Amino acid sequence: MKEGQRKVIAVTCALIINNQNEIFSAQRSAIMSLPLKWELPGGKVESNESSEECLIREIKEELNINIEIVASLPSNLHSYPTLTIRLIPFICKHIDGKIILKEHSNFKWLNTNELLDLDWADADIPIIYHYLNYINAI
Instruction: Specify the 3-state DSSP secondary structure of 57.
Output: helix
Give this prediction's pTM: 0.92
Residue 130 forms beta bridges with which residues?
none
Nearest residue to 26 (alpha-carbon basis) of 70, 61, 54: 61
Spatial contact of 103 and 45, defined as CB atoms under 8 Å apart: no
Predicted pLDDT of residue 1: 44
Predicted pLDDT of residue 3: 46
Residue 92 forms beta bridges with which residues?
16, 69
Predicted pLDDT of residue 4: 54
Spatial contact of 38 and 45, defined as CB atoms under 8 Å apart: no
pLDDT tens, N- to C-terminus, the chain (138 residues): 444 568 899 999 999 999 999 999 999 999 988 899 999 999 999 999 999 999 999 999 999 999 999 999 999 999 988 889 999 999 999 999 999 999 999 999 999 999 999 999 999 999 999 999 998 876
* Sign of the torsion formed by the C-alpha atoms of 90, 78, 101 and 54: positive
For 2-137, the fitting CATH number among 1.10.287.470, 3.40.50.9100, 3.30.200.20, 3.90.79.10 is 3.90.79.10
What ranges do the domains of the chain cover? 2-137
* Sign of the torsion formed by the C-alpha atoms of 85, 117, 37 and 40: negative
